[in-house]
Amino acid sequence: MIEFRKFILNNGLRVIVHEDRSTPLVAMNILYDAGSKDEDPDLTGLAHLLEHLMYGGSANIPEYDTPLQLAGGDNNAFTNNDITNYYLTIPSENIETAFWLESDRMLDPDFTQKKTEIQKNVVIEEFRQRYLNQPYGDVMLILRSLAYTIHPYRWPTIGMDISHIEKITNENVRQFFNRNYAPQKAILSITGNIDAAWAFNLADKWFGSIPGRHVNARILPREPEQEKPREITVRRNVPSDALYKAWHIGPRTADDFYTLDLLTDLLAGGESGRLYNRLVRNLNLFSEINAYITSDFDPGLAVISGKIMKGVDIETAENELIKVVDELKDGAVSDTEMEKVRNRYETSTVLSNTNILHKAMNLCIYELLGNADMINTDVARYRKVTKQMVSESAIRYFRPANCSTLYYLSDKPAE
């Protein structure tokens, strides 16, 4: 049970504090309800570029990192389709530096043309390093644009194309900040070795005076239901063929989210998942196989991906994969298997609770989803999933008409 207190400042900023005295550190997490889904389709990659630029200094601070390092702190951030999240840990005696830094860049970050141009370069190198210069690196770029036709999940957070990043201006950055980084669109959590009342005082002192900004309500196009199978074949200079299949599912807050999470764990969790046992261990069709749900806030995807063993025909591999999934529809799952995936979930939850940074992040995410207390109640929702619910969800979502398939083939000449 994670005990926490919550407080809303006058400007709308939500503050959550959880004390954990077993550590000398404090973790601070700031989540902004803004991600790549809030971008203009012609200017993708902007939310993530802005995350980089938030380190370039703010109204009263020339640069973010040095003062934090001077206080013994360590930080990072990530952007995804839904949110932008900044996090740090710092020895508790120096926590006020974290409040000073984070509140100043929420108040008024200092975007300049020069810094924007340099960070555009850094992000373009990141694009090359992680997506273009890696075998299979462009898979999500292709799969997203196949599975989604109008919803902004059709592009990845890094951006649809390098040309989008190249044309972003300093003015675009400023505008995106003003629209999305208001206090009422943010959630601040503080966990670890700190007195809750003291934390609220500091939050009020540093964040309370940031004026609320007007923000427009988010209106996103709803992805229409997929009515027939989609597929695409690409050929790349990679050593083995790979198969990617994605089915549309509901949003993170849907009742069956928990069922689907356990369902993909039944398929590919640990070394004893059904897909691994059948397709890797017994039939030797794949060299690796994975299944997961995207955990997107808006309707997301269930994805199964695998690398095909050399000499195996991709169609044969796909047919056997579908058989394994179809068995779930027929109620093939045993009580022991259900108990197994629930137990695995329990261990990972307890482990996650040993870490103040995980707790800080989860509190913010759950609060954005509706209620920070879900950090405590989620375990029970996983416990309630039954075999029947698994087969119902498999029937409902894992239909050919709801599926997008990417055949990623090797055109590497034999050596």
Partner 1 sequence: MDNFRTKQPPVKPVSAITGVPVENRVLKNGISLFMIDAGSEDVARIEFVFKAGMARETIPLLAGTTNMMLAEGTLNYTAEELNSTLDFYGIFQNLSADRDSASLNMLFLNRHIEKAMELAGEILFRPVFPEKELSLMMKKRLAGYRISREKVQNIASDSFFESVFGSNHPYGRPVKEKDFEAITPALVRDFHSEYYTPRNMAAIISGKIHEDTPHLFEKHFGSFSDSKLPAGNSLNIINVSDAGKIHIEKPEAVQTAIRIGSATINKRHPDYPGLKILNTILGGYFGSRLMKNIREDKGYTYGIHSSVTSLDQSGYKVISTETGKQYCTSAINEIYREISILQKEPVKNDELEVVRNYMSGEMVRMFDGPFAIADSFKAVWEFGLDFSYFNRMMETVKTIGPEEIMRLANLYYNIDDLHEITAG
SS3 assignment, position 189:
strand
Candidates 113-121, 165-173, 387-395, 397-405: pick the segment binding partner 1 (CB under 8 A): 113-121
Candidates 163-171, 254-262, 346-354, 363-371: pick the segment binding partner 1 (CB under 8 A): 346-354
Told to check if 385 binds partner 1 by CB under 8 A, we report no
Q: How far is CA 240 from CA 75, 135, 280, 383, in A?
A: 38, 10, 15, 39
Within 10 A of 306 (CB to CB), how many other CB atoms are there?
A: 26
Shortest distance (Å) from residue 343 CB to partner 1 = 4
Sign of CA dihedral 134, 140, 143, 149: negative
Closer of 279 and 368 to partner 1 (Cβ): 279
Q: Rule CB under 8 A: choose which of 251, 270, 370, 400 binds partner 1.
A: 270
Told to check if 384 binds partner 1 by CB under 8 A, we report no
Shortest distance (Å) from residue 215 CB to partner 1 = 22
Told to check if 163 binds partner 1 by CB under 8 A, we report no
What's the alpha-carbon Rg for the chain, to the nearest Å? 23
Q: Rule CB under 8 A: choose which of 196, 309, 374, 409 binds partner 1.
A: 309
Shortest distance (Å) from residue 123 CB to partner 1 = 8
* Number of alpha carbons in the 13 Å side-chain half-sphere of residue 360: 25
Closer of 7 and 100 to partner 1 (Cβ): 100
Candidates 127-135, 252-260, 386-394, 399-407: pick the segment binding partner 1 (CB under 8 A): 127-135
Closer of 233 and 277 to partner 1 (Cβ): 277
Closer of 65 and 373 to partner 1 (Cβ): 65
Q: Rule CB under 8 A: choose which of 10, 112, 253, 272 binds partner 1.
A: 272
Can you spell out the DSSP letters for 67-123?
HHHHTT-EEEEEE-SS-EEEEEEEEGGGHHHHHHHHHHHHH-B---HHHHHHHHHHH
Told to check if 69 binds partner 1 by CB under 8 A, we report yes
Q: Rule CB under 8 A: choose which of 340, 389, 394, 403 binds partner 1.
A: 340
Q: Rule CB under 8 A: choose which of 43, 118, 332, 395 binds partner 1.
A: 118
Candidates 91-99, 171-179, 290-298, 364-372: pick the segment binding partner 1 (CB under 8 A): 91-99
Q: Which of residues 229-248 bind partner 1 (CB under 8 A)?
A: 237-240
Told to check if 107 binds partner 1 by CB under 8 A, we report yes
* Number of alpha carbons in the 13 Å side-chain half-sphere of residue 356: 26
What is the DSSP-derived secondary structure letter of residue 135?
Answer: T
SS3 assignment, position 215:
coil
Q: Which of residues 206-225 bind partner 1 (CB under 8 A)?
A: 209
Shortest distance (Å) from residue 108 CB to partner 1 = 10
**Spatial distance between the Cα atoms of 39 and 27, rounded to a whole number of angstroms:** 29
Q: Tell how many helices (H) and how many strands (E) occur in the chain.
A: 15, 11
* Number of alpha carbons in the 13 Å side-chain half-sphere of residue 228: 0
Candidates 100-108, 138-146, 148-156, 246-254: pick the segment binding partner 1 (CB under 8 A): 100-108
Candidates 11-19, 165-173, 266-274, 400-408: pick the segment binding partner 1 (CB under 8 A): 266-274
> Is there a contact between 42 and 214 (Cβ–Cβ < 8 Å)?
no
Which amino acid is present at 166?
A: E
Q: Provide the CA 199 distance to its chain's centre, in angstroms.
A: 28
SS3 assignment, position 3:
coil
Q: Rule CB under 8 A: choose which of 135, 208, 212, 331 binds partner 1.
A: 135
As a 3-state breakdown, the chain gives helix, strand, coil percent values, each rounded to 5, of 45, 20, 35
Candidates 77-85, 138-146, 267-275, 394-402: pick the segment binding partner 1 (CB under 8 A): 267-275
Told to check if 132 binds partner 1 by CB under 8 A, we report yes
> Is there a contact between 60 and 210 (Cβ–Cβ < 8 Å)?
no
Q: Which of residues 359-378 bind partner 1 (CB under 8 A)?
A: none
- Residue showing tokens 């229409």: 224
